[in-house]
Amino acid sequence: MSHASGGRVRTFLQEFSIPLISGVVGALALANLAPETFHAIVHFKPFGGPDLHFLMNEIFMVFFFGIAAKEITESCLPGGALNPLRKAINPLFATVGGVVGPVAVYLGVVYGTGYGEMYGRGWGIPTATDIALAWLVARLVFGKGHPAVNFLLLLAVADDAIGMGIIAIFYPDPTHPVNPAWLLLTAGAMAMAFTMRKAGVRAWQPYIFGPGALSWFSLYTAHLHPALALVFVVPFLPSAQRDIGLFKEDTEHAGTDALNQYEHST
């Protein structure tokens, strides 16, 4: 396969999110048809250490949320869909509805059907937003580059942050209680990223594997989900100062724009 053909195939797969759709359908089918096999795959340890569940949830999802943070950051820049910042107020307020609404529906259903005593405590489950699927549906409905996509991304990220807080407060792990003191390292990671930007660091790698790694360690050690680690760091990456949209090539700033270099490298 030539380089040009390979590029077209990759663009097609990205455009229609074929890997994501295939993974969701395949996982659902396997989990229902062969749950033992699904469990064995999820907990398989390819390197003898962390299993696939840990690698996907605690590592790879970090980079996905980083890309979401990149899109939100770019949309808040001059010319972006969420600039000026007052445009970002609506999705943030909508987040409240995205949390309260599902909880009300869930409690109404379980108590209305007489299962409240048994399942009522699970009210926190529907507050979570599957950001990957939400982003996919938004792109299919509105099209790539539509302002509604960035609106939804900001809503979903804020919703997941609230969900993380709900889990920490209402569903604590007695064997691993939340230790908020470690979150000071996240603040330190943000300060480090800010200092690096002021110092003129243009490449994306030092931000992701420096402050980003520190933010991950902070959340993980605080016994909070580390998937949001890069959300606190990506906004500090040097940018082209304009919203060019997901998967669009910015040829003018391709060599200097760390935000887009990060996206296309991950």
Written as one string, the DSSP assignment of 61-110 is HHHHHHHHHHHHHHHTSTTSTT-SGGGGHHHHHHHHHHHHHHHHHHHHHH
| Residues 130-156, mean pLDDT to the nearest whole number | 77
d(CA 100, CA 25): 29
- Determine, yes or no, domain membership for 37: no
The length of the chain is: 266
| Residues 136-142, mean pLDDT to the nearest whole number | 78
Q: How confident is the model at residue 9 (pLDDT cuts 50, 70, 90)?
A: low
pLDDT of residue 196: 95
**Residue 89 is encoded by which pair of tokens?**
């107020």
98 phi and psi, to 5 degrees? Answer: -70, -15
* pLDDT of residue 15 exceeding 80: no
Question: Contact 77/250 with Cβ under 8 angstroms?
Answer: no
- Determine, yes or no, domain membership for 208: yes
- Determine, yes or no, domain membership for 186: yes
DSSP secondary structure code for residue 173 in this structure:
B
pLDDT of residue 97: 86
Domain that holds residue 181: 43-265
Q: How confident is the model at residue 137 (pLDDT cuts 50, 70, 90)?
A: confident
264: left (phi over 0), alpha (psi -120 to 50) or beta: alpha
Closest CA to 90 of 12, 152, 171, 28: 152
**Percent of the chain residues past pLDDT 90, beyond the cut:** 34
* pLDDT of residue 75 exceeding 90: no
- Determine, yes or no, domain membership for 10: no
pLDDT of residue 218: 96
pLDDT of residue 16: 59
* pLDDT of residue 259 exceeding 70: yes
Angle at 182 between CA 46 and CA 92, to 5 degrees: 90
**Residue 129 is encoded by which pair of tokens?**
């937003």
Domain count, the chain: 1
Q: How confident is the model at residue 184 (pLDDT cuts 50, 70, 90)?
A: very high
pLDDT of residue 152: 79
> Which one has a higher pLDDT value, 106 or 262?
106
- Determine, yes or no, domain membership for 89: yes
Is residue 255 classed as helix, strand or coil in its secondary structure? coil
- Determine, yes or no, domain membership for 36: no
- Determine, yes or no, domain membership for 38: no
pLDDT of residue 249: 42
- Determine, yes or no, domain membership for 1: no
- Poorest-pLDDT segment among 62-71, 143-152, 159-168, 239-248: 239-248
- Poorest-pLDDT segment among 59-63, 202-206, 248-252: 248-252
Model pLDDT for residues 21-74, shown as the tens digit of each residue: 788 889 999 999 999 999 999 999 988 889 999 999 899 989 988 888 887 888
Q: Which CATH number goes with the domain that contains 137?
A: 1.20.1530.10
pLDDT of residue 11: 65
The identity of residue 74, as a single letter, is: E
d(CA 41, CA 232): 32
Closest CA to 138 of 266, 12, 20, 31: 20
- In the block, tokens 């996509």 appear at 149
pTM for the full predicted model: 0.75
pLDDT of residue 72: 81
Question: Contact 259/204 with Cβ under 8 angstroms?
Answer: yes
**Residue 116 is encoded by which pair of tokens?**
């409240």
